[in-house]
Amino acid sequence: MLDIFVLLVVYVLSVVLISEFVRPRAGGQGVNFCLLLYHYHVLLGFYYGWFAWGTDTHFYWNLGDRYRYFYFESWLDSYGTHNYAVFFINYPLSRIMGLDFWTGTFIYASVSAWAFVLLYLAGRNLFKNNKISVGGASIWPGILLLPSLHFWSSGIGKDSLVFLFIAIYFYGIRDLRKYLYLVIFSVIGLYHVRPHMAFIVLLSAAFMLFIDGKLHFSYKLVFFVLAAVGFGSIYDEVLDFLKLDELTTEDVEDLFNTSATNLSYGRSYVDMSGYPYPLKLFTFWYRPLFFDAHNLSSFINSIENAIALFLTIFIFSKVNPIQGYRKSPNGIKIMLLAFLLASIAFAGALSNFGIIVRMKNMTFVYFLFFLVYIYDGHVWKEKVNKYRRMQIAQKRREAIKARTVQ
C-alpha cells in the first residue's frame, strides 16, 4: 500500500513540478515536450530495471547482496563516496520505508528525468532555431529522444545520478553569475558518486573560465578558489579510486593496460590493444556499429552510433569545427572539453562495448550539443543571408519600378 501511495505522490509531483518549471521558460509547447521526455524516460527506466534484473541495481537498492553484504546500524553509517553515496540515498527508501525495487526504479527514473528537462531548456536558450533538421529529420530536439541516453541514465545506481549531476552542472555553468549554487551542488554530488568525473568537469571549467576575457575578474577568482579547493579535496580520492600512488604517465599507462585486460570478456569484448589512440577514440565514440551488433541492445546502439557518425561528418563538412568551437559559448566549450577529457581517459582503459556505452553516455550528449550548436549557427547565417538577398532584390525591383514610372 505504501508503494502505491509513493508512486502516486512521485508521479503527481513530477508532472506538476515539470509543468510549473518549464512553462515560464518554454511555454506550453515546451511543457508538452518535457512531459513526453519524462514519460519516455520512465518507460525506459522500467525496461532498464527488467534488463538489469539481479545485477548492480539490486545491489544498490538492497544495500548489498549475498556476496557483498553491508551492515549499517544507522542511516549515517551508510554515508560515503562511490557505492556508499548510493547506499546513503537508498537507505531511507529501501531499509526504513521498505519500498519495493520497482518503486525505487520509478523514483530514480522520475528524478533523473530532470536531466533531460534541463538539457531541453538549455538548448532552447542556446540555439537560435527552435527546430533544427538535417535532410528533413529533426536533430533538435530529436537528439534528446535517443534511447541509449535514457536507458543508461534511468536505473537505480550511479549512472543515473552522474548523468543528472552533469546536466545540472551544464545548466548552471552557462550563467555562472546566476547559477553558481547549481554548479557547487552538482560538483559535490559528482564528488560523492564518481570523484574522477568531478575532477574532469572542474578541470574543464577552470581552464575555460580562467582564459575567458568576458568574465569579470572577481568571478574568476571565486571560481578559481573553489576549483583549487575542489582539486585538493578530490585528488586523493581519485588516486584511491584508480588505485594509483600518483598521476604519472607510466602509472596511468599501466592502469589502462590492466583495466583493458580485466574487461576482456564476453561477446561485447573488442581487442583494442593494437589500436593507435585515434582509433581507440573512434571506437569509444562511434562503436558498436552494425557489424559489431550481437543482440537487440547493441543493434539499437549501432543505429544511434551510425546517426552520430553521420551527423559528425555532415556537420563538419558544413562548418569548420575549430571556428565553430571558437564561436561557441563557454558552457558548450566547457562540456565539450569535459567530453574530450573523459574520452581520452576511458578510451585507453575500456575494451568492452557494454561498459564503453555506459561510460560514454555520461558526456556524449554534450558533443551532440556542440554539433547542433555549430550547425544551428550555420543554418541561422544562411537564413539571414537569404533574407538580405531578398531585401536587396526587393529594393532593386522598387528602384526599377520607380524609374519606369518616371
Please, which residues bridge with residue 69 across strands?
64
* Contact residues for 33 (Cβ-Cβ < 8 A; gap 6+): 26, 120, 141
- What's the rounded Cα separation, in Å, for the pair 246 and 252? 9
Dump pLDDT digits (tens) for 278-324: 898 999 999 888 888 778 888 889 999 999 999 999 999 999 999 99
Range among 77-91, 100-114, 318-332, 334-348 with highest mean pLDDT value: 100-114
DSSP assignment of 166-225: HHHHHHHHTTHHHHHHHHHHHHHHHHHH-HHHHHHHHHHHHHHHHT-SSS-HHHHHHHHH
- Pairing mode of beta strands 137-140, 132-134: antiparallel
Q: What is the three-class DSSP state of 153?
A: coil
pLDDT of amino acid 243: 53
Global confidence as pTM: 0.88
Please, which residues bridge with residue 269 across strands?
352
Residues in the chain: 406
Dump pLDDT digits (tens) for 116-149: 999 999 999 999 888 888 888 889 999 999 999 9
